Structure 1
Amino acid sequence: MSTLDEIMPISVRVWWTVAGFLALLGLWLGVSHSGLIEARMLPGPETVASTILRLMHESFAGSTLQEHLVSSLGRYLLGFGLAVLIGIPLGLMMGWFEWLDDLVTPFFEMLRFIAPISWVPFAVLWFGTGIGGPLLIIFSGAFPPCLINAYRGAKMVDKRLIEAVRTLGASNYRVIKDVLLPGSLPSIVTGVRLSAGIGWQSLIGAELIVVSSGIGYLMVQGQANFATDIVMAGMITIGCIGLLIDFSLRVIEQSISRKWSQGGGSQ
């Protein structure tokens, strides 16, 4: 049976998206100008837009908006990249080697339920305001989805394919590289997408506490100066970058899903 998303034309869905955005913008504009809330506490969208443009040309908290964003993205890419580089191979190997699964799972199952923000005290104690603190927090948020989805993907690979390549004398490395990795790819991409979102959220949490630059730091300094427009400018920047990251990974995920539905798979 076709779902509503499948039968609804793309143009109609785009208009619904635009309508939802305009409705939210209209609500914000109406409340901010209604007098129910002080303009200092809830600046209007035009004020926040003006603040974003100003921050792009004027330094605040030591840097312009672009420079704070570059600092944030640098930390994010390092922490997220580390989670992907460790989580995916480890998940695949856990799906292949039972002894490794038995060894890692108890420790991992305990750690993955600890919220990334819980690592902030250790980040401060161990690294101060250096790069290590944010990396620890981002990694702790981004790592579990990568590992879990790689592991699940490896477990879902057709065992007959594995037996066939083993019969032909393939080594464990070749089995993981040529069978488990391609066969797990859709699940891995889904995990990377989830990891990217959680990692970005974890970064902002870290920057609110343990750094001296970045979008989170910009928001903290705005709050300290009672500049609500700067805080909201930071929030909008965070949301837009997060949306862009998720959209990019969603396109990749859909592309891989289409190839698999057309019979690509692990053949």
Structure 2
Amino acid sequence: MGERLTKAQTIGFSITGMLFFFGIWVFAAWVKLAPREFLPFPWDVVGEGLKLLIIPFSGLTLQDHLAASIGRFMSGFFLAAAVGVPLGLLMGWYRWLDNIMTPLFDGLRFIAPIAWVPFAALWFGAGIGGPTLIIFAGAFPPCLINAYRGSLFVEQTFIEAAQVYGASGIRIVYEVLLPASLPSIIAGLRVGAGAGWQSLIGAELIAANSGIGLMMVRAQAALDTPIVMVGMIATGIFGVLIDFGLGGIEGWLNRNRGR
């Protein structure tokens, strides 16, 4: 394994990578690798993004579309975490529940979240219920799997010590398995958040009346490439912020584990 980079080196390499990316973008637009309306310069996209903060597109400004997407994401992601984490821990402790749930879960988790869009549209229309279902389908499997695997690798001595003091069943789940599995659970939430956010944008491209995905598909229909790119950049930035926040929690737990 190579030497660890210092924080300054990491930042330097990150900035270099971003400059290289934008340099390639500017060069491709300058030599007209594609027509200007399909490959604008970066500053054209920035200008369009600033304009969208004031002038509505498809009925809403950029921040309003983003707020609608974030609201849908939060509802589906928190539901996936609230169901997936406890269920995963319970499956790790109760073998009978594991045997009941595993065949059903293994069948459902390989269905792509976007495949639920027709059902979501039929059952909920363009309301919040449809996107919530699709986000749940994307975020639920990682939340459950990591909680389940984390509970399986809890040191047996912790469980035996709890049993000596009279703990059993549910108490062992939330007093022993949950704290010991937190790093694995947070890692699952991190993966689930990314999958849920991607699932949301895919759903909004097909069935929604607001949101970043709707903004992008309406802009694509109008051949407005800068707005499509603004939507992609906004999607990526918020996705990075989600991952950064959960990654910070994961790092803090790993540093303080065992204290």
TM-score, normalised to structure 2, is: 0.98
The equivalent position to 1:32 in structure 2, one of 29, 33, 47, is 29
Q: Could you tell me how far 1:249 is from its partner in structure 2? A: 1.0
| Consecutive aligned runs of 4 or more in structure 1 exceeding 6 Å deviation | none
Aligned residue pairs total 259
Q: 1:69 aligns with which of 66, 70, 73?
A: 66
Pairing of 1:179-218 with structure 2 (within 5 A): 179-218=176-215
Aligned to 1:105: 102
SS of match in other structure, 1:213: coil
Equivalent of 1:52 in 42, 49, 72: 49
Which residue is equivalent to 2:156? 159
The offset of 1:259, in angstroms, is 1.2
Deviation at 1:170, TM superposition (A): 1.1
Q: Distance in 1 between matches of 2:242 and 2:160?
A: 38
Amino acid at match of 1:51: E
- Give distance in 2, aligned partners of 1:253 and 1:36: 42
In the TM superposition, residue 78 of structure 1 has moved relative to its aligned partner by 0.2
The one-letter code sitting in structure 1 at the alignment partner of 2:91 is: M
Q: Once structures 1 and 2 are overlaid, which stretch shifts more, 243-252 or 70-79?
A: 243-252
Partners in 2 of 1:36 and 1:183 — Cα distance? 54
What's the C-alpha RMSD, in Å, of the aligned pairs?
Answer: 1.0
Q: What residue in structure 2 maps to residue 176 of structure 1?
A: 173
- Amino acid in structure 2 at the alignment position of 1:77: M
Q: Partner letter of residue 129 of structure 2?
A: G
How far off is 1:72 after superposition? 0.2
Q: Determine which of 98, 121, 124 is the counterpart of 1:124.
A: 121
- CA deviation after TM superposition for structure 1 residue 253, in Å: 0.9
Q: Which moved more, 1:204-213 or 1:248-257?
A: 248-257
The one-letter code sitting in structure 2 at the alignment partner of 1:259 is N
Deviation at 1:196, TM superposition (A): 0.6
TM-score (norm 1): 0.95
Q: Does 1:235 align with 2:239?
A: no
1:124, distance to aligned residue in structure 2 (A): 1.3
How big is the shift at 1:257?
0.9
Quick check: 229-238 or 171-180, which moved more? 171-180
Structure 1 residues 134-174: Cα deviation after superposition (integer angstroms, max 9, x where no partner): 01100000000000000000000012221221122113222
2: CA distance between counterparts of 1:186 and 1:35?
48
The answer on 1:20 being equivalent to 2:17 is yes
2:140 paired residue number: 143
Is 2:218 aligned against 1:259? no
Unaligned 5+ segments in structure 1 are none
Report deviation, 1:99. Answer: 0.6
Give the match's secondary structure for 2:64.
helix
1:74-123 Cα shifts (integer Å, max 9, x gaps): 00000000000000000000001001000100000000011101111111
Cα distance in structure 2, aligned partners of 1:7 and 1:206: 40
For the residues of structure 1 that align with 2:156 and 2:103, how far apart are their CA atoms?
Answer: 25
Matched residue, 1:115: 112
How far apart are 1:36 and its partner, in Å?
Answer: 2.4
- Paired residue type of 2:197: W
Distance 1:128 1:174 in 2: 41
CA distance in 2, matches of 1:36, 1:116: 35
Q: Please give the alpha-carbon distance, in whole angstroms, between the structure 2 residues aligned to 1:179 and 1:146.
A: 18
C-alpha distance in 2 between matches for 1:206 and 1:30: 33
